[in-house]
Amino acid sequence: MKILIDSANLEKINHIVKYFPIDGITTNPSILCKENTEPYELLEKLKQIKDLLFVQAISKDFDGMVEEAKRITDKLGDVVIKIPVTDEGLRAIKHLSAQGYHTCGTAIYTEEQAFMAALAGAEYVAPYVNRIEKFYGDGIGTVKNIQEIYKNNNLKTKILAASFKRNDQVMALAKAGVDAATIPADLLINFIHNKDVDEAVDAFVNDFYKLVGPNSTM
């Protein structure tokens, strides 16, 4: 499973990429809004940090989405254009994918949306695990079903699971071998913070100091 950061916060992203094996960065309009800065300036910086960058179109109609995809690509180069899987969005995915754009069907709450987006040629789909759990009940099950639908229909669209609130949601999908997960910065940082691990490391160091003297190393 590839790991992406679902954030546009430069400070947190720079911290995470220093320590974690990260494949890319995903954004959406709400994520950009939190940073309260000119979006393209920020997106250019994010693109320099990780080449695999996802940027969402805002328009709700086909023409607007297509126009935005062109503008985003002109300004930022090769990025993945996120398009909500509505009827207009599906039409835009079909058109843009045929034109060679990288597309991600987003705001996916149902298996039907994921199925249609893949048939339309989306390179990725982003099912919203926690929101599905909140509104319908089984976020993990929905993503696993999408995985099975793709496998059984020989669809090559990659699943980028999104909208996580807990580590166990991510790890259940890692166990299932889902292609990718985009994880909020704070959740990702907490993947490694564990006081029992810190205590174990301190105990090893102290025992070694007892053996050969303080501040020694191997």
Catalytic residue numbers read 82
Q: Any bridge partners for residue 81, and if so which?
A: 55, 103
Q: Cα–Cα distances in Å, from 69 out to 72, 152, 196? A: 5, 31, 47
The minimum distance between CB 18 and ligand E4P, in angstroms, equals 22
Among 3, 5, 6, 139, binds ligand E4P (CB under 6 A): 6
3-state secondary structure of 165: coil
38: exposed, middle or buried (Cβ count in 10 Å: 0-12, 13-18, 19+): exposed
- By the rule CB under 6 A, 92 interacts with ligand E4P: no
Q: Which residues, numbered 141-200, are part of the site for ligand E4P (CB under 6 A)?
A: 162-163, 182
The minimum distance between CB 88 and ligand E4P, in angstroms, equals 18
- By the rule CB under 6 A, 28 interacts with ligand E4P: yes
The minimum distance between CB 152 and ligand E4P, in angstroms, equals 25
- By the rule CB under 6 A, 93 interacts with ligand E4P: no
Among 49, 130, 179, 205, binds ligand E4P (CB under 6 A): 130
Q: Which is nearer to ligand E4P, 26 or 113 (CB)?
A: 26
Nearest-10 Cα torsion for 202, 204, 210, 215: -60
- By the rule CB under 6 A, 103 interacts with ligand E4P: no
What contacts 116, CB < 8 A, 6 or more positions away?
Answer: 85, 90
Q: How far apart are CA 26 and CA 5, in angstroms?
A: 6
CB atoms within 10 A of CB 94: 18
Contact positions toward ligand E4P, by CB under 6 A? 6, 26, 28, 106, 126, 128, 130-131, 162-163, 182
